[in-house]
Amino acid sequence: MSHEHEPLVGLNGLIKCKTCGNILPSVEMTISHVSSAYRARKVLENIASAGKYTIIGFHEDFPVYSKNKNGITEEITASKITIRDYRIIKRLISEGAE
Binding-site member from 12, 19, 54, 68 for Zn ion (CB under 5 A): 19
Binding-site member from 20, 55, 81, 97 for Zn ion (CB under 5 A): 20
User: Could you tell me the smallest distance in angstroms from the CB atom of residue 5 to Zn ion?
Assistant: 4
The helix (run of H) or strand (run of E) holding residue 39 is helix 37-51
Nearest CA to 20 among 37, 2, 32, 34? Answer: 2
Are 63 and 52 a contacting pair, CB within 8 Å? no
Number of residues that bind Zn ion (CB under 5 A): 4
Interface residues with Zn ion (CB under 5 A)?
5, 17, 19-20
